[in-house]
Structure formats: C-alpha cells, structure tokens
Amino acid sequence: MPVLKQQVFRLIALVQRHPGVVAIFGFVSGLASFLLVERQAELAQVLALVMLVSWLWLILENVLRERIAHWFGFELPPPLLRYATQMIHQESLFFVLPFFFITTTWNSGQLLFSGLLASAALISIIDPLYYKWLAPRRWLFLAFHTLALFALLLTALPIIFKLTTAQSYPLALAAAVVLSFPSLYTVISAKRWWRWLVLVGLMTLLGGGGWLARIWVPPATLWLNEVAVSTEMNDAQRAPVNPLKTISDTQLHQQGLYAYAAINAPRGLNERIYHVWRHNGREIERIALDIHGGRKKGYRAWTHKQNFPADAVGRWQVQVLTEAGQMIGVLRFQVVQ
C-alpha cells in the first residue's frame, strides 16, 4: 500500500508541474467526441461518460475521502482535493467548448453564453485567478461550479442517452440545480428554520433563470449547415432557388417567402422544431415542423409564409428553435418599399 500511495502522489506532482496538460486533454477529448459523434462512434459516449463520472467525485467528495482513508489507510490532503476540483473543472469546460463553439449563433445572444464558457475555461487554467479571486468568493465559485456542470450535462446527455433537446435541456437544468444544493447549503451559514426557505428560494430562482435564458443557450448537438430565404423552392432538389437578402414589399405580398434551413444532427433528429417569423423584433407567426432522421449535409426543412402584415417593410428574422426553446440558428432578410 505505501508503494501505491507513493505512485499516486508522484503522478499528482507530475500533473501539477504541467497544469496545461489537463486543459489540453479536456479540449482534445471534446473535439474527438464531437468528430466521433458524427460517425455514431461508441467512443464518444465513453468520453462523455468519463466526464460525468468525474463529477460524481465532486458530489461525493467527503464520503469518498472517508472511504479512501478507511480502505487504504491514508487521507487525501486538502490541497490535493482542491487541485482535483480544479482539474475536473478544466476537463469539463474544455470538453464542451468544441460543441458550443460550432453550434453558437454568434450574431445573437448566444454569444454571451459561449463567451462566458470560454472565460470560465480560461480562469480554470490560471491559478492566481482560480485560487485567489474565484475560490475565496463562495457565491461566485458556486456559480462557476453550476455553469460547468450545466454545460457538461447539456453536451453529454444527448450523446450518452440519445435524448432530444426538449428532453435534455430541462433534465440538465434540473440536475444542475439539485446538485448545487450542497454548495448552497455551505454558503448560507444561518442555523434557523428560515434557512431552508432561503435554500428553496435560491434553487427556484436558479432553475427559473436557467429556463428563461434557454434561447441564449446553444443546443450542443444541433447546428445549421445552410440557411436561405427565397421566393421559390426546387422540389426535386429540395433546395431554394435564387436565395435573397432583400425583397420588395410588393413582391413579398404577391409571392410569399420560403425560409429554408439544413439542420446538422449527428445523433439524428426525432423532434419538433419551430420557425418563428419576427418583424422588427415582434413575433408574427410560429410554424411547427415535425422532423425525423438526419443526413450528412443536414436535415432540410422549410416553411412557406404567404400571410404578411399590410406594412411589412423593415427587418425580418426567422428563428429556428427547438421544442425546448433553444435557438439552432437564425435567418435574416430585409423588406423594402
């Protein structure tokens, strides 16, 4: 047993001397999973499962530490536990970055979420920021911890269990909120009965905020390969004819308009999506599409809108949303007089 203990600490010391290796491993494993998912490879599921199992360590840290002391006769030092937590944050954040970067609609509010993930990943590998600025602020560390877990669940659940976005988003949100309870419990130091009301209130606020912000959260396994608006569709080729960015008000009312989107879904599509037509920021119509299956160049779907307001001049958007309300992408065009 002393030999095993010595080898464990030697490995830990080696990793501590090269902290960037953990971040590189997380990013490479995430990129590998992203590429392998497209080929339906089982290794992608294994990598995602490894990430989730590492989080069980954080959740059951105290229990596992006691068991290790009982079984192997030595206690893990606190600095080692802190480093293990940082290592899991690094692995998780760099693992999910490839998924979110490819699925983010960068000219939308999703930029904030993906930018926040990138900032969190950067903080996790800079020790002065992580240990001297983040860790001492318990509320901020809690938010950081919950964000990393939420992003990991959004990515891993569809890969491991082949869930739709309508299933994975509320499940990931609920799991992140429930598993944040131990951290919230340590932050609120009051010992009175109303402590439990505060805890329930904070968890409700966290869950409600996450649900309202879902349109800003990219669907980690769905993205648009091609988008276009056109006055005509080629049914044989299932493709738009002469895509446009600008259309006259007269032509719009005479011919209507097609909104076309090719959705890349490496796990396959088996859910309802929506085309939400917006005029100058105001929702005009929401059209549902039930889609099944997938293809390498994306599942091709379109809607044809003919009923436009009398005054249709201005900026238009067609948001492609999942049933959970996450935005896969957006089409933009201008109507002029």
Same domain? 30 vs 133 = yes
Residues 172 and 308 in one domain: no
Q: Which two tokens stand for residue 63?
A: 């229990």
pLDDT for the residue numbered 299: 78
Per the CB < 8 A criterion, the answer to whether 221 and 267 are in contact is yes
CB within 8 A of 16, min separation 6: which ones? 83
- pLDDT for the residue 294: 56
The CATH number given to whatever domain includes residue 256 is 2.60.40.1930
**Nearest Cα to Cα of residue 322 among 84, 133, 175, 163:** 163
Question: Residue 307 CB: number of other CB atoms within 10 A?
Answer: 9
Token readout for 216 is 């800003």
My answer on whether 255 and 306 are in the same domain is yes
Q: 216, 234, 252 — which closes off a domain?
A: 216
Closest by CA to 224, choosing from 110, 97, 86, 305, is: 110
Closest to 319 (Cα-Cα) out of 287, 275, 283: 275
Residue numbers of the domain that contains 179: 2-216
Mean pLDDT per 10-residue interval, the chain, length 337 residues? 53 56 63 59 60 64 59 60 74 83 87 92 83 81 83 82 83 84 65 73 84 89 83 83 87 87 73 88 88 65 86 90 88 88
Do both 84 and 210 map to the same domain?
yes
Same structural domain, 129 and 148: yes
How far apart CA 174 and CA 180 sit, in angstroms, is: 10
Contacts of 25 by beta carbon, 8 Å cutoff, 6+ apart: 91, 94
Q: Are residues 26 and 50 in the same domain?
A: yes
Q: Are residues 209 and 88 in the same domain?
A: yes
Choose the final residue of a domain: 184, 216, 248. 216
Residues 34 and 161 occupy one common structural domain: yes
What span, in angstroms and rounded, lies between the C-alpha atoms of 94 and 88? Answer: 10
Measured between alpha carbons, how far is 310 from 195 in angstroms, rounded to an integer? Answer: 56
Centre a 10 Å sphere on the Cβ of residue 143 and count the other Cβ atoms it contains.
Answer: 17
Any idea what DSSP says for residue 32? H
Same domain, 142 and 203: yes
250, 315: one domain: yes
188 and 282 belong to one structural domain: no
Query: Whole-angstrom distance between the N-terminal and C-terminal Cα of the chain?
Result: 82
Provide the pLDDT for residue 80.
Answer: 62
Work out how many domains the chain is built from and give that number: 2
Going by DSSP bridges, is the β-strand pair 327-336/246-248 parallel, antiparallel, or unpaired?
parallel
The pLDDT, as a whole number, for residue 1 is 47
Report the C-alpha gap between 232 and 238 in whole angstroms.
11
pTM > 0.85: yes or no:
no
Per-residue b or e along 75-109, where b marks 16 or more CB atoms closer than 10 Å to that residue's CB: ebeeeebebbbbbbbbbbbbbbbbbbeebbbeebe
Classify 82 in phi/psi space as left (phi over 0), alpha (psi -120 to 50) or beta: alpha
Cβ atoms of 249 and 241 within 8 Å: the answer is no
249/181 same-domain check: no
Q: Please name the amino acid found at residue 303.
A: T
H or E stretch at 264: strand 257-264
- Domain boundary at 216, 250, 276, which? 216
Nearest 5 degrees, angle CA 19-CA 130-CA 18? 5
Neighbour count for residue 194 (Cβ, 10 Å): 10
pLDDT at 111: 92
Instruction: Specify burial of residue 150 (Cβ count, 10 A radius: 0-12, 13-18, 19+).
Output: buried
